[in-house]
A and B are shown apart, each in its own frame.
Chain A
Amino acid sequence: MRLPGDDLLSPVNGGLSWISGEGPHADIILSTRVRLARNLEHFPFRETIASPQQEEVTAEVLEAYGESAPSNGNGDRRQFLRLGGLPETDLNLLLERHLVSREMIRFKEASALLVGDGGRVALLINEEDHLRIQVLEAGLQLEDAWESARRTDENLRRKLKFAYHERFGFLTSCPTNTGTGLRASVLIHLPGLVLTREIHKVLQGLAQIGLTFRGLYGEGSDVVGNYFQISNQTTLGKSEGELVGHLSQITRQVIEYEENARQVLARDALDEIEDKVWRAYGLLRCARAMSTDEMMNLLSAVRLGVSMKLLPAMRVRQLNQLLLWTQVAHLEKRAGRSLSKRDREHERSKLIREILDESDNG
C-alpha cells in the first residue's frame, strides 16, 4: 500500500513511529509512552486561567520549543495544530492516535498540539496542565522514551520557568501528578494470560507494587482485545529514573509470564490455538462487514498467532495498521465523509482485506 506523506491528520501514517512495529518485543508491547506534566509558573492552572492567558501559554511554549530545539532539517519536521477549528473527525483521529486527550477535546478552544522529533515527541498544550511533554515509541523502550522526554524538558526549562515547590517538586493541577509529573506506560497485549485465566493474579499483583492498569484508551476505558495499559500509580517520592526502571523491570516480568502462558498453551492446546488463530484470520480475510468489537477480538487472536509464529506471512506493522487505521475516525477520514454504522463496517472489512493482501503478496 502506498503511504502518503506523513501529516498529523493523514488517515495513514500521521507521523507515528510506533506503528512501524520496529522496537523490542513489539509483538507483545504495542507502544511505550512517557509523559511529563508541567505548568508555567506565572499563569494560573486550567481551573482559573483566562483564555487570553491560555493564548500566551501557547505562544510561550511554541517560542521556547522553537528556540531550544532548532529543527535539524533532516526529517525533523515540526507540525503544529490548534484544536479549536478542527472538525470532529480530525479531533477523534488524533485521539485514536493518543496524540490528544479527551480533556483537550473538551476544552478544544484553547488546546494545541505540537509534534516534533520525527513524530516521537508531542507537546500537548493547555491540557489539564499547561503542558504535557509526551514521547511515544514502538515496542518496549521505556529508557529511551524517558531520555527523550528528559531532554525535551531540560531544553524547555532553559527558556520557561515551570511551577515548582521546594518540597513537593513540579506542581500540577491535580495532586495525583505532583512531584515528577511523570507517567510512564506500556500498551501490552496479554492473550496468553487471559486464556490461561492467570490475568487477575497478575493485575492484582501490579496494584500491590505501585502500578496500575487501564484499557486501550486510558482512564475509564474498557479492556478490549486483551490490550492493557500498565503505568506507574504515584509520581512523588521516587526519582524519574526509579519510576521508569521499576515499570521497565516489571514489564519484562509480565512479558515473561505471558510467554510462559503461551508455552503452556502451545504444549497443552496447540490444535485449539491454531484453529482459533486461523479462524480469526479467515474471518478478517473474508468478512464483508466488521464491527469494531468483533475486529478487536479477532485481531487479538491473529496477533497471538503472529507472535507464536503460526502466521508466518504477517508482520507486526500490519497488526498495528489493522488496529489503528480501522478505528472509526480513521475510516471516516479515509472516506472523506462521516459514515453510518453499516457503511463503517463495510469500509472496515474492505480496508482489513487490503492490509492483509499486502502480507499475502510480500
Chain B
Amino acid sequence: MLCADCNENKATVHFTQIVNDETETFHLCQDCAQKRGLKTTPVSSQVPLSDFLSEMGAPLFTKATNANTACPRCGCTFRQFRKTGRLGCAHCYATFEQEMSALLRKIHGSNEHVGITEDESIGPVDEREAQLLEMRRELRQAVEREEYERAAELRDRISALEDDRRAARAAAFEERT
C-alpha cells in the first residue's frame, strides 16, 4: 500500500481521526506522517482485515460504479464487499474492475500479476527433478542422523543424476543450435 500523501513510499503509519463524528483514516509513510506532526510507534499488524478493507474501500468509488451495482453472476454488490472484505465470485473482479484495480494497487503496491500464469506448465512431470528433490532431502536427513555411509551413497547418486541432467541439457542445446 502506498502513502496517501506522497504516493511514492510504502504506507507504514495508519491512523484514524474522528472529527464531529466523522471518521477518517490515513495511510502514510514514515516521512509524511512526521510532516503531519504524528509520533510514530511500532505498527500493530493485527488490524482486523475487514475493518482495514472497509476503510480502504471508502474513498475508492468511481463515478462509473454505484455502490449498489451487483455482480451479474453472483449478485454481490460493492457495498457488500466493502462490509465483508470478501468478493462473491471471480466475476466480481471484472464487474468492479476499476475499483479492484485501484484497491489492489493500494494493497500490494501493484496491480499487474507477474508470476505463474494459468496455462504455464512444465509439461509432463519430470521424473528426474522429482527424484533429485527427494534424494537431497534424504541426504540432509542422513547427515543429521549421522548415517554417513548412507549419506555418501546418496551423494554419489545425486551427482550421477546431476551429470545426467547436464548432459541432457547440453544435448538439447546442441539440437537447437
Contacts and interface: CB of A to CB of B under 8 A. Distances in A.
Interface string B33-54: 0000000001101101100010
A164 B12 CA distance: 30
A23 B140 CA distance: 7
B50 to A, nearest CB: 9
- Please name the 8 residue pairs, one residue from A and one from B, whose CB atoms are nearest each other, closest first: A237-B110, A169-B113, A163-B90, A236-B108, A164-B118, A44-B89, A234-B108, A180-B115
Interface string A17-56: 0001011100000000000000101011111100000000
B172 interface: no
A342 interface: no
Q: How large is the interface on B (under 10, 10 to 19, 20 to 34, 35 or more residues)?
A: 35 or more
A173 B53 CA distance: 13
B39 to A, nearest CB: 14
A220 B46 contact: yes
Interface in A190-230: 200, 203-204, 207-208, 210, 212-214, 219-220
Q: Which of A168, A214, A235 has the most CB of B within 10 A?
A: A168
Contacts of B144: 22
Interface in A216-269: 219-220, 234-240
A39 B86 CA distance: 13
Contact of A167 (B74, B113, B133): B113
A179 B137 contact: no
B130 interface: yes
Interface string B111-122: 111111111011
Contacts of B75: 48
A203 B12 CA distance: 12
Contacts of B118: 157, 161-162, 164, 170
Contacts of B113: 165, 167-170, 178-180, 236-237
B122 A212 contact: no
Contact of A168 (B45, B74, B93, B140): B93
A173 B84 CA distance: 10
Given A176-B49, A237-B113, A41 B141 contact: no
Q: Is the interface of B mostly helix, strand, loop or mixed?
A: loop
Given A44-B73, A164-B118, A207-B45, A151 B130 contact: yes
B87 A45 contact: yes
B3 interface: no
B10 A208 contact: yes
Contacts of B84: 47
B103 interface: yes
A23 B133 CA distance: 14
Contacts of B92: 45
20 contacts: A44-B73, A47-B84, A48-B75, A128-B86, A144-B137, A147-B133, A151-B122, A161-B118, A169-B113, A171-B90, A173-B86, A174-B53, A179-B115, A204-B43, A210-B10, A213-B45, A219-B49, A220-B48, A237-B110, A239-B115
Contacts of B107: 175-176, 234, 236
Q: Which of A128, A144, A182, A237 has the most CB of B within 10 A?
A: A237
Q: Which of B46, B101, B119 has the most CB of A within 10 A?
A: B46
B74 A207 contact: no
Contact of B45 (A128, A158, A212): A212
B76 A47 contact: yes
B71 to A, nearest CB: 9
Contact of A48 (B76, B85, B100): B76
Contact of B100 (A148, A162, A175, A180): A175
A161 B104 CA distance: 23
Nearest to A171: B90
A178 B109 CA distance: 12
A251 to B, nearest CB: 17
A28 B107 CA distance: 31
B115 A178 contact: no
A150 interface: yes
A78 B53 CA distance: 38
Given A47-B76, A144-B137, 4 more contacts: A151-B130, A163-B90, A171-B87, A237-B113
B145 interface: yes
Nearest to A43: B89
Given A24-B140, A162-B118, A214-B45, A237 B87 contact: no
A175 B78 CA distance: 13
Given A48-B88, A174-B85, A234 B109 contact: yes
A180 B104 contact: no
B100 to A, nearest CB: 7
Contacts of A235: 108
B117 to A, nearest CB: 8
